[in-house]
């Protein structure tokens, strides 16, 4: 789930670590400071955007995907909604 960083707020402690993506770009990953569950990705190449792991939400029932990014890296057993558009990688129009 990708949106603007300004709309994001975490309650509680977060531990961050710098990483490099498969494409060689820098990103910061945020994890719950208590249990270590992944919460978000902050890509260096898109400083205004933040990627949230939907599974980290208290209630993900309202989440409705509008596009599947990085579909080229998916698995055949992952049966996503066929009506949601899919892109093989990231796309810059998400800004």
Q: What is the pTM of this model?
A: 0.69
Contacts 24+ apart (CB under 8 A), 4-11: 4/48, 4/49, 4/50, 5/42, 5/47, 5/48, 5/49, 5/50, 6/48, 8/40, 8/50, 8/52, 10/39
Q: Per-domain residue ranges for the chain?
A: 1-60, 64-95
* Per-residue pLDDT, 39: 93
Could you tell me the sign of the dihedral formed by the alpha carbons of 69, 71, 72, 78, in that order? Answer: positive
Amino acid 91: pLDDT? 62
Give the distance, in angstroms, between the CA of residue 3 and the centroid of all CA atoms in the same chain: 9
- Segments in the chain below pLDDT 50: 93-95
Residues 6 or more apart from 44 whose CB is under 8 A from it?
Answer: 25, 26, 27, 28
Instruction: Report the mean per-residue pLDDT for the chain.
Output: 85
Q: What letter does residue 88 receive in the DSSP assignment?
A: S
């Amino acid at each position: 789930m990708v949106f603007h960083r300004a709309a994001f707020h975490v309650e509680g402690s977060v531990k961050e670590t710098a990483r490099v993506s498969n494409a060689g770009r820098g990103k910061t990953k945020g994890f719950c400071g208590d249990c270590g569950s992944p919460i978000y990705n902050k890509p260096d190449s898109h400083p205004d955007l933040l990627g949230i792991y939907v599974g980290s939400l208290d209630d993900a029932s309202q989440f409705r995907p509008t596009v599947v990014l990085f579909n080229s890296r998916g698995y055949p057993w992952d049966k996503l909604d066929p009506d949601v558009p899919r892109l093989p990688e990231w796309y810059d129009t998400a800004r």
